[in-house]
Amino acid sequence: MKQVTLPELGEGIESANVTFWYFKEGDTVKEKDDLVELATDKAAFNLPSPCSGKLAKILHQEGDTVKVGEVLANIEETG
């Protein structure tokens, strides 16, 4: 199981809000597919999937505030 965490976004940025997920739980994703879009006050950005597999669990829904380092989702690796 691979965890998708919110990476460091820049100095002074501690959190971001989930705008939407490109996939739903159970979907198959490929490495580098855009998984989720998040936004800080003035910037919107995407997180790519770190591996190919099944999006097993989404831990933060649309609208949630996520702290840097927090886990957003778990992916069951394939291959």
Partner 1 sequence: MAFKLFDLGLADFQSAWDFQKKIFLQVKQKELFSALILCQHKPVITLGRKSKRENILTEETELERSNIKTYQIERGGDVTYHGPGQLCIYPIANLAYFKRDINWFLRSLEATLLEVLFDFGIKAEAIPGLTGIWVNSTQTNVGVESKQEKIASIGIAIRNWITFHGASLNIKRDDLANFSLIRPCGLDIIMTSMEDVLGKEVRINRVKETLKRRWYETSNFARTG
Taking CA atoms, 5 is separated from 47, 50, 53, 77, in Å, by 9, 10, 16, 15
Q: How far apart are CA 43 and CA 55, in angstroms?
A: 25
Question: By CB under 8 A, which span of 9-17, 23-31, 50-58, 70-78 interacts with partner 1?
Answer: 9-17
Residues 35-74 that bind partner 1 (CB under 8 A): 37, 39-46, 48
Question: By CB under 8 A, which span of 8-16, 21-29, 50-58, 64-72 interacts with partner 1?
Answer: 8-16
Residue type (1 letter), 21: W
Interacting residues toward partner 1 by CB under 8 A: 8-13, 19, 34, 37, 39-46, 48
